[in-house]
Amino acid sequence: MPERTPKPPPFSLRLTPEERSRLEELAGNEPLGAYIKRKVFDGNGIGAKRARSRLRRPLKDEQKLAQVLAMLGQSRIANNLNQLAKAANIGTLPVLPDTEQEIRKACADVALMRRELLLALGHRSDTEPSP
């Protein structure tokens, strides 16, 4: 088993509330520590491995996004729309071209909502979230 190297102790910096607010604004979705290191070292971590950074998200928003994503998954809207589109394509559901176009748009909208929700939760849009 490879020997683990100890992590260096954290560095503390006191900021006024205004300074902290400005720093968070400049960092955007980047974690403050990663943003500060990038600015101080000009993107060069002095030979150190670059840590994988995560987006900062308030826990409350993450919980709400997860709830909406779960509701969307349980609603079977996407499955129902897909069945309607399939029936329209094989001719068992008589539909006018406008109706078919609306069904296809609804399917695309559902796929877009799913993708955006997964991205907002910090997951890659082409993979399922890990349990």
* Residue reference for tokens 């849009």: 125
Claim to verify: residue 44 and residue 19 sit in the same structural domain: yes
Claim to verify: residue 116 and residue 63 sit in the same structural domain: yes
pLDDT 10s digits, 23-54 = 888 888 888 888 888 888 876 555 445 555 55
**pTM of the predicted model as reported, rounded to 2 decimal places:** 0.40
Claim to verify: residue 26 and residue 64 sit in the same structural domain: no
At residue 3, what are phi and psi to the nearest 5 degrees? -80, 135
Instruction: Please identify every stretch of the chain with a pLDDT value under 50, giving residue numbers as ranges.
Output: 47-48, 129-131
Q: Are 66 and 89 in contact (CB under 8 A)?
A: no
- Please state the domain count of the chain: 2
SS (H, E, C) 13-33: CCCCHHHHHHHHHHHCCCCHH
**Domain limits at 65?**
59-120
Q: Give the number of residues written for the chain.
A: 131
* Residue reference for tokens 């088993």: 1
Nearest Cα neighbor of 59 from 125, 121, 131, 123 is: 121
pLDDT at 18: 92
